[in-house]
Structure 1
């Protein structure tokens, strides 16, 4: 399973493409690609957003579902989803509306 992530061009914020077809700041609600066709569709969406100068560093990332929550497999993506691992008072994990992805 994969999801589409990027950084918003205006402020560098890590964002994910959501099930309601917009870029969101929380990994929860990301559209999940479960097969090659869905991955190709997300890649096309990411390329279009890059070409339109909405986002940069567009990537499909590997995830797993743990108790219904999206969890990135790579540490880099866990940190992007939650925030700095040495400062839990900063980043996305410090925001009450964002669940921990790490």
Structure 2
């Protein structure tokens, strides 16, 4: 749930629940939204605050909030143009996977 009572896809706009009464109230709102097919299976997550930033405690929620756990430099890279036959890369010699 967002701070304004709506729904948000980011932690930055999320409402942090401070006590059990507030948790019960927000769970009731979330359950009603799920029943109305506005959201699917909402659930509370544990967070910490670092200044104004809200951070998930559990690794699973960090991946959901921030994306894959692999560093972009080690992720699958796009193939070079001459491997794909791009016309823009005409000056590069062709590369054959059989070594010829």
TM-score range, shorter chain: 0.5 to 0.7
Q: Quote the offset at 1:87 in angstroms.
A: 5.4
Q: Give the structure 2 partner of residue 32 of structure 1.
A: 16
Find the structure with the greater CA-based Rg.
2
User: How has the CA–CA distance of structure 1 residues 49 and 87 changed in structure 2, closer, same or farther, with 3 Å as cutoff?
Assistant: farther
Alignment of 1:78-89 (within 5 A): 78-86=62-70, 88=72
With the length of structure 1 as denominator, give the TM-score of the two structures.
0.66
Quick check: which one's helix share is greater? Answer: 2
Which of 30, 36, 39 lines up with 1:52 in the alignment? 36
With the length of structure 2 as denominator, give the TM-score of the two structures.
0.67
- Runs (5+) with no aligned partner, structure 1: 1-16, 90-102
Alignment of 1:11-26 (within 5 A): 17-26=1-10
Aligned counterparts of 2:68 and 2:35: Cα–Cα separation in 1? 29
User: How has the CA–CA distance of structure 1 residues 39 and 88 changed in structure 2, closer, same or farther, with 3 Å as cutoff?
Assistant: farther
Higher relative contact order (CA 8 A, sep 6+): 1
Q: Quote the offset at 1:39 in angstroms.
A: 0.6
Which of 62, 66, 70 lines up with 2:50 in the alignment? 66
Aligned residue pairs, count: 73
Q: Quote the offset at 1:60 in angstroms.
A: 0.7
Q: Could you say what the CA RMSD is over the residues aligned between the two structures, in angstroms?
A: 1.6
SS of residue paired to 1:71: strand
Quick check: which one's strand share is greater? Answer: 1
